[in-house]
Amino acid sequence: MGDSKRRPLAGRRSVLLGMAGLASAALAACSTDGGSDAPSAGPAPGSAGPATPPPSIAELSKEEEAAALAVRNHGQQAGGVDAGGGETTGGVDAGRGAPASNAVSAPPGREQILAEFSALRPKEWGLHVTGVVDNSPGRHVALTFDACGGPGGAGCDHKLLATLRSLKVPATLFVNSRWLAANPSLAADLAAEPLFELANHGTRHLPLSVSGRAAYGITGTASVADAYDELTGNQAVLHSLTGTWPRFFRPGTAYYDDVAAAMTRRLGMLPVNFSINGDGGATFPPATVAAEVGKVKAGDIVISHFNRPASGTAEGYARVLPRLLDGGTTFAQLGQVLPA
């Protein structure tokens, strides 16, 4: 990337560095997982919970929301983000999918969301509940990679990213606030790179629940207010970094209830999961990663991780991607294949 790509982000990087310090203080006290979403053993039972409510981050979210609104208003005055949320990024190899606009309008506020959702009771809990998108109607395959943060989960698989770059394969990167707080400079570089699209992976990497459900032993958000914080806290951090409102969300563990999924949509994000589990929560060996990703077909959304450099993910992708490309498989970011 040339200097022309980096200079416009200098101010945003400073904002992120400041907000990362604020976020890291609140996040340090939170209970965490090992940094991956989808264990190789398969889905946890849907009956987990209720569980102890997680610590509140209400004040943090209010500060972040105020900062995000200030950034948005400044951008509108300066012409950086129009009233309709329209801001586009640069192109990528047309044969493999070029990024589209990923901007959306500012979300409804906390009080409005609480008024609309607090009386609702969830009926579904899992990876694939009503309202969650698992694949696309297009002909491209969408590769998505999560970065979860937390102990053991704040690294970056540079070998994997190098493979994507060398093959010009675009991807959507779901990043959590914990990972952003640990990697502010790297996050700014990734935000400036047209091959990659950043998406929201939550504030504390929690299952998204309105009643304290748990998945894989991780306590979910305990209420509509907690779910709102989980959704909007990181949304504000990402907005301050990129200047746009991310369009896509995936929670920690990838578990939702149906009310939380509806809240996600109401807040201007599309709740996304997957049709192919590429690396089993960064636990698969390279041969298994290659075999699972090698099953893709048109419209699939693949989940893997880019925060575990010691895993078999990078080697598995290095083995399988050239074969898929030679066979005619095309790839695109979620912003290319899912409707606005």
d(CA 126, CA 255): 5
Closest CA to 155 of 308, 304, 21, 311: 308
Predicted local distance difference test score (pLDDT) of residue 95 = 32
pLDDT tens string 195-237: 999 999 999 999 999 999 999 999 999 999 999 999 999 999 9
Please compute Rg for the chain using Cα positions: 18
Predicted local distance difference test score (pLDDT) of residue 128 = 96
Least confident of 44-58, 92-106, 149-163, 223-237: 44-58
Predicted local distance difference test score (pLDDT) of residue 314 = 98
**pTM of the predicted model as reported, rounded to 2 decimal places:** 0.74
Per-residue pLDDT at 80 exceeds 50: no
Is residue 3 within 8 A of residue 189, CB to CB? The reply is: no
Segment of 2-6, 86-90, 102-106, 288-292 carrying the highest mean pLDDT: 288-292
pLDDT confidence band for 35 (50 / 70 / 90) = low
pLDDT tens string 97-136: 333 344 455 668 999 999 999 999 999 999 999 999 999 9
DSSP 304: E
Please spell the DSSP secondary structure of 102-140, one letter per residue: ---PPPPPHHHHHHHHTT-----EESS-TT-B-B-SSSS
Per-residue pLDDT at 76 exceeds 80: no
Predicted local distance difference test score (pLDDT) of residue 340 = 74
Q: Average pLDDT, whole number, for the chain?
A: 78
Q: Which value, to the nearest 10 degrees, does the dihedral of the CA atoms of residues 262, 181, 161, 330 take? A: 20
